[in-house]
Each structure stands twice: as structure tokens, then as C-alpha cells.
Structure 1
């Protein structure tokens, strides 16, 4: 081992011991946690609504994942400033799960997902997943999901408040008032986002929520109503009435685990670039925290989680250096888990602006694919269209099949390779990449 490698390893060991807390950065981390929570709370509410999960369950998932992330940072840090939470990209998948299996069986689906993720973590299989599913296809998948999210929340920008009957005439006085507030909210949010996205990223979210709350005193709008549910702690036992549901449950959980893992690995790559101390990320350690959080969440009916790039970027720009900021996020969100009545002051149009913005940003992620060339851009766009029109898993699988056929045709027809040679070349690629990673 060279001296450079020894120094690098020692630096990583030193960072590992201080990933959760460093005294010199404590004040910055406390501030970052408060700011990031300000952005994470309305975002998590919107994602829970999109997922068809109770809002209280979504917030509890974020809080639990934050505590696990802080705990694991003491001995197995995956990254140093990543903020865990429920992912917008997984929201329609979870909603599909509820529609298919019922909310009462989703705890088992999440448990099964965590089990598959534990296997991926144990054998370090995420490297193979990234080779089998190119990153640009994941971007296409997220673009299709983003379009679903944007269209889901767009009608809330002109939705009438509860108790106001809709008439045949769309342009009623009540409707015009809601649309006017939404328009002002959009201009406020986008203006502040454009100006402060690189310095104070939570400010647009905070300002929009405050504007919405203040506007609701003067104009009647549809308000959020959070149901105070009773958490039942227990082992997730399924209740499937057919063999087909059992088989589909395993397939569904496997695909959910794969998408969750790939998103986390991609997020880690981005988090590493924005780390203020340039510390390397360890994706396998991040997967450990994810599957433990997911498995733990399944015992109270929680959702899946990962270190989302939006929250992590906000955490970094707010001044975070260690996972102490994540502990602060968890504590603040826990307060609202047990005091959900405070959330009833949030107007729907403000949440709709945030979630529509999130969805559009996911769609615009396709623009980043252009650097990979026209083939990647076209295939990612096709994946997004199929995900939106056909279905999330179906769209991804169809695109993967098309990708494999194109790969086969190129080597078969252009290079005139026999089928056996193409397969050997494919598996050789896995083997070579495995040696490089080891």
C-alpha cells in the first residue's frame, strides 16, 4: 500500500469518527437542520399525499429515517450531509402498491423491500444494478413519474375550498380568487427560488407557506386536513387472498428495492460533489442505513426512504457539515408527528405549487441526459413516455428490453458476433467491473 493510500485511508477513518458530530461545526449543523426541516415538512406532506399514505405516517417515516441516519453516522457513515426522507420519485410506485395490495398489506411490502435491499447491501450488488440499468434510464423513469406528480397536483391550484359548491360556470368569483392566489404564490416561489437557490434554498418554501397561511385569513381556500391516526406497532403480516398476489408482491418489492437503491447511489454521487470537506461517500454504508430504516418503518406502517438530493442540497447550502443536522431535522419533524393539528393551517394551493414544481424539475432532468449523447436522450425520453402512459414498472421493463435488443443487434449485425460471443462479452464486462471495484 502506498503512502498516498495510507493517508487517504487514515483520512477516511478520521472522518468516520466525526461524521455524526464535530464540535467546531455544531452551530452550523443546528442551523442547517432547522432550515432543511422547514423545506422538508411541506415537501414530505406533498409526497405522502401523492403516495396515498396518511400524512402522519409520511412524517414519521422521515423522522425515523433521520434518527437511523444519525445513529449509523457514528460507525458506518454512507455520506456526511445527506438528509433522509421519503422520495418523490417513489410516490406513484407506493400509490400503485396501495391500489394493488391495499394499505393494510403495504407494511409487508416495505418489509419485503427492505429484505431485498439487505441482500443487495450484503453482497454489494448495487454495482451490478447500475450496469444493468443505465443512469439515463433512471432519469427517464423519474421524468415519467415527475409528469404524473405535476398533473396530480396541478388541479389544486384552482380547487375550490370545502363547502363551496362547484357551478357549471368555471370562472366563479371563488375560483378566480384561488387562481389569483396561486398565481401570486407561483411568482413568489419561482422568484425567490431563482434568486436564493444557491444561497438560501429553503427560503422559497418558507415564504410560500407563510404567504399561503396569511392569505387564508382573507380568502377562503381549501386547507389541509391531517388525520390524527393511531400507530400500531407490530410485525408486518400480509393478508393476500391469491397466489398471484404473493408472486406480484415479490416482484413489486424487488423492483421497488432496485429503484430505491439506484436512486440512493445516484444521490450519493451528487452529495459527494457538494460535500464542503470533499469527503468520499460509501454507497454500501448508505444502503445499510436505508434497509434498516425501511425494515424498522415497516413495523409501524411506514414508507420507503433515501437521502434525497433536494433535501441534501438544502442541508449543504444551509451550512451542514455533519449528520447532527439530520438529528435536528428528525426532532423537528417528530414534533409535528405528535402535533399534527398545527399542519391544518397549510393551504392546498401552496402545497400544490411545491409539488408541481418538484414534478416539473424531474421532467426537466431529461435535459441533463443530453451530455450522454442522442441515443441516451432518446431512450430516456421513451422510458419517460412509457412510464407515464403504460405504467412505472412496465415502462422501465419495456425500455430495458428495447435497450437489450439494440445492444444485441449492434454486436450481431454490425460486428458480426455470434450470440454466444455477445453473452460472453456482456458477462465479461460485469467481471471486469467487479475487479475494478474490488
Structure 2
């Protein structure tokens, strides 16, 4: 396939490259320590984390139609991966489960199961984004001050309060602290300086961090080995090929492998769909990602990752958000970030290992603040409590538990307000005086479910005294639950026994209400 045909197939854009190139560097700088940290937390080789990030960029992004989503190893799966490796007894057996999980995701995409992501309330999605921002800030504080890096890489999983545990027992490294705060100042003010702002601020931050770390050597602010990025150094092609691990296909009939595979497939798919929904919301062009195509891309990505020795991958909110905030326009940015990870591994591992973690923490702190900007809280509060409370509940739940649990709690809270609103909007009641006669008209909504039974019943049986005529209008309703009709029929008998004139208009048990209403209108 020629270069022109390949570009057309991938739908690459030279016009957007000036935006995607600098944003890809930002994503690369964010992804590099995350890939390594997640691999370490999962009990897998460090190379597996980098390999998964490379595949997320070069394979998934090339197949996906999401303009801003970035895929890679997800910290939300670390506990599952760590337990699965121990349960299955060998990393090669676990890799087989990853391959099968990819096949399951591929099938889910083909049967169009991606639409499930459309059913998540927007308040919950925005709450998830803000919670991720808060979690990023909390979990980067140890690295920002040169404290213990424990928990610093679990950014996509929630549970940010754990970031503070035991960190006070370690001393602050003032060299790392200075690097972090100067880096934050550059990230905030560098883009506002005309002429030099064409150079990506994160690149300036990295160069500054490397320079200051070198200056601090031999002084009281010297950084130790744990304050730097650490990636494996490959000196030959043979050493590079030896890093790959292949799945053990002899375990294909092992039921535990299939259980792990389906667990990974379901959780990875949910995390991907949630991330896609969230990223589409912060896309300045408001583009909509085809979720079924995304599941197919994720499936192929996981099949590739499992076959070559990588970890399960998903669309990840932190890297995707960094991509959006850095001005990325198309999936070229995600693809390029995968290329930079590969180049870093092969060509400049020694140079990459000179980058202080504190300047990378500054990049993530800046990203976290943008996601949890105070203006978002004010905006949600102005929308009303029915939006703000699910939003706030999601934030608290994600921060104190994890991503999936937090979103689940947020959905439950949101459903409460949805059901309450549905119950309150089932009808409209009007009381009028016609020729000295007090008349009540109840107009039913378009959809009247069994949830509306109690409010309608309470309203009818609490009508003011002196009502002489009642009309219940169901002409505009496409559906009235049979339980509600029973309540209306019973009330009709009760009203007639009291001498009240009552009319039930277009209230019927027949299934096809639209046809019945149309016939009544024709007769009139």
C-alpha cells in the first residue's frame, strides 16, 4: 500500500498536524510514567506497560474513529490483572486470557453492543471527569514534593485518598519541589507569551526538569534514583526481541482462563465506553465517536497486546483528557504518541531516564485542575440540584472507591431524580369555574407508567371540596399503564357514587392507543 493510499485509509490530515504534533508530545510525556507504573502495580514486566502503550497508539488509534481518545494500559484493571496472574500461575497463561478478552470485545463491537454507553446520565459523566481530575491532583502530590511514589500511578482507577497514606513519614525533597512548582508556572504562563508559545510548554517543562536535576547534583537538593523515570535499556535487536512474551495456547481449555478473559472484556469495555462518552463531551468540535467501531478497535488492540506480551488496554481518560487539553484535533496525536513511546524505548532510553518524575507530576496536576475546574462546579449548581447532586455523588464515590463503583453510585442517585421527575410530570391539573360550577381537568402526559400510579391517585383523592365536574384527558397519551387505568376506573366509580360528573376521555385498555385515539378524532 502506497503512502498516499495509507494516508487515505487512515484519514490522516496534514492540516491538523500542527495541532496534533505538539499534543502527541504532551500525551507521550503523560503516558510514559503511567505505562511503567501500571505495569509495576500489575506485577507484570515494565516492558509490558510500554508495549501496551505503543499498541494503544499504533494499532488501536489507527482503527478507531475517535478523534481524541488515547488507549493504553488502564490502572483500573491493575487489581484484576495482579490477581489473575497469581490465580493462573503463569504470565503466559494470563496473556492467553487477554487474547480471548480481545476476541470477546471484537464480537461485542460486531453485534453493536457499544450503544450501552449512551445510557449514562451526563451529570454522572461530568462528575467522573471532575473526580478523575481531583484524583490526579491527590495522587501526584507525593511525586510533586519528592515523597513516596506509592499509589502515584493509579490515576484511572479512582481511590485518590490513598495517595496521602504514609507520605508524611517521608521527607520532602526540595529539589523535586522546586522543579514541580517552576514547571507549573511554565505550564500556566508559557502559552500566554507570544512568539515562544509555539514550543509546547510540556517540552519546556521536561527540559527544565532535566537541567535543574543536573544542577542540583551534589547539593542538599539532589534528587535520588527514585525521583526519575526508569525504563528498560535495550542495547541490541536481540535484547529487544527477548523482551516479548507469547501466550500459552495449551491452556485454552482452562476454565479459569475463560473466566478471567470475560471479566477483563466486560470491565475493559465499560471503562472504554465511559471514557469515550466523557471525551466526546470535552471535544471542542462536539464530534461523536462510533462506539461499536471503538469496541472493534479495542478488541484488535487487546488481541495484539496479549499475543506480544502486553497488558489489557482500554481507552483511558487521563491520557485522552491530556490530549484534548493540549489542543489535539485528530487521532494522529494518539498514533504519534505510540510512535514516540517506541522511539523512546529503542533510541533514547538513557535520556528518558534523566526526566524527573516531579516535572511529569506538574503536567498531570495542570491537567487535573482543568478537569476539576471550580467553574464546572458552579455551572452544575446553576443547573439545579437534580443535576448537581448526582454530579457531586459521583465525585465523592469515585475519589473514595474506584471508577466503576463511583459511576455506579452516581447512576443510582441520578435514577432517583429521573424517577422523581417522571412521577411529578405525569399530568397537568387545572381547576376552573364555569357558570358557577367548579370543574377539574386532568391532562395526562405522553407516557404514563406504573410509577405515576401513586401521584395520580393521591391527587385525585385530595381534590378540594365542591368540585362538581371532572374530566380526565388521555388523548395526548401514547401509553397508559394498566395499573393507572385501574386507578382511574375506580375513581370514576367513586366520583359517580358522590354525584360528581366525571368523564374519562380516550382512556382505554387497548394495546394500540395511537390507533384508538385517531379513530376517536375521526368520529368527532
Work out whether the TM-score is over 0.5: yes
Secondary structure of the structure 2 residue equivalent to 1:345: coil
Q: Does residue 1:224 correspond to 2:236, yes or no? A: no
Counterparts of residues 53-68 of structure 1 (less than 5 Å): 56-68=47-59
Which of 203-212 and 149-158 deviates more?
A: 149-158
Aligned partners of 1:40 and 1:189: how far apart in 2? 14
Task: Give 1:16 shift.
Answer: 11
Partner Cα separation in structure 2 for residue 70 and residue 242 of structure 1: 32
CA positional deviation for 1:316: 3.7
Matches for 1:304-315 after TM superposition, within 5 Å: 304-306=313-315, 308-311=320-323, 314=326
Q: In structure 2, how many angstroms separate the alpha carbons of the residues matched to 1:425 and 1:140?
A: 35
Q: How far apart, in 2, do the equivalents of 1:290 and 1:335 lie? A: 23
**Cα drift, residue 190 of structure 1:** 2.1
1:189-338 equivalent positions in 2, closer than 5 A: 189-193=187-191, 200=198, 203-219=200-216, 220-221=222-223, 222-227=227-232, 230-234=243-247, 250-251=262-263, 253-268=265-280, 271=283, 273=285, 282-299=290-307, 300-306=309-315, 308-311=320-323, 314=326, 316=328, 327-338=335-346
Alignment of 1:36-435 (within 5 A): 36-49=23-36, 51=38, 52=41, 56-69=47-60, 71-72=62-63, 78-79=65-66, 81-82=67-68, 84-86=70-72, 90-91=74-75, 93-102=76-85, 104=91, 107=95, 110-111=98-99, 113-131=101-119, 133-159=120-146, 175-193=173-191, 200=198, 203-219=200-216, 220-221=222-223, 222-227=227-232, 230-234=243-247, 250-251=262-263, 253-268=265-280, 271=283, 273=285, 282-299=290-307, 300-306=309-315, 308-311=320-323, 314=326, 316=328, 327-339=335-347, 340-364=349-373, 366-367=376-377, 369=380, 373-411=384-422, 415=426, 417-419=449-451
- Contact conserved, 2:27 with 2:323, CA < 8 A, in 1? yes
CA displacement 1:136-189 (0-9 Å, x = unmatched)? 212323433433332222111222699xxxxxx9998x8334323322222222
Aligned mates of 2:449, 2:69 — CA distance in 1: 47
TM-score scaled by length of structure 1:
0.70
Where do residues 18-33 of structure 1 align in structure 2 (5 Å cutoff)?
Answer: 18=8, 20=10, 26=14
Secondary structure at 1:353 match in 2: helix
CA distance in 2, matches of 1:371, 1:111: 47
Judge conservation of contact 1:33–1:329 (CA < 8 Å) in 2: no
Structure number with the bigger relative contact order (C-alpha 8 A, sep ≥ 6) is 1
Which structure 1 residue ranges, 5 or more long, are not aligned? 1-14, 163-168, 427-438
**Offset at residue 389 of structure 1 (A):** 1.6
CA distance in 1, matches of 2:263, 2:170: 47
Q: Which of the pair has more CA radius of gyration?
A: 2
Specify whether residues 57 and 282 from structure 1 end up closer, same or farther in structure 2 by C-alpha distance, changes over 3 A only. Answer: same
RMSD: 4.4
> Offset of 1:350 from its aligned partner?
0.9
Aligned pair in 2 of structure 1 residues 357, 270: CA closer, same or farther (>3 Å)?
Answer: closer
Q: How far, CA to CA, are the matches of 2:339 and 2:208 in structure 1?
A: 25
User: 1:271 touches 1:309 (CA, 8 Å); kept in 2?
Assistant: no
Unaligned runs of 5+ in 2: 150-167, 217-221, 234-241, 427-447, 455-478, 482-524
Would you say the 8 A contact 2:134–2:369 is kept in 1? Answer: yes
Query: In the alignment, is the contact (CA less than 8 A) between 2:137 and 2:369 conserved in 1?
Result: yes
Query: By how many angstroms is 1:267 displaced?
Result: 2.8
Q: Under a length normalisation based on structure 2, what TM-score does the superposition of the two structures give?
A: 0.60
Structure 1 residues 402 and 271: CA distance shift in structure 2, 3 A: closer
Residues 161, 356 of structure 1: CA spacing in aligned structure 2 closer, same or farther, 3 A cutoff?
Answer: same
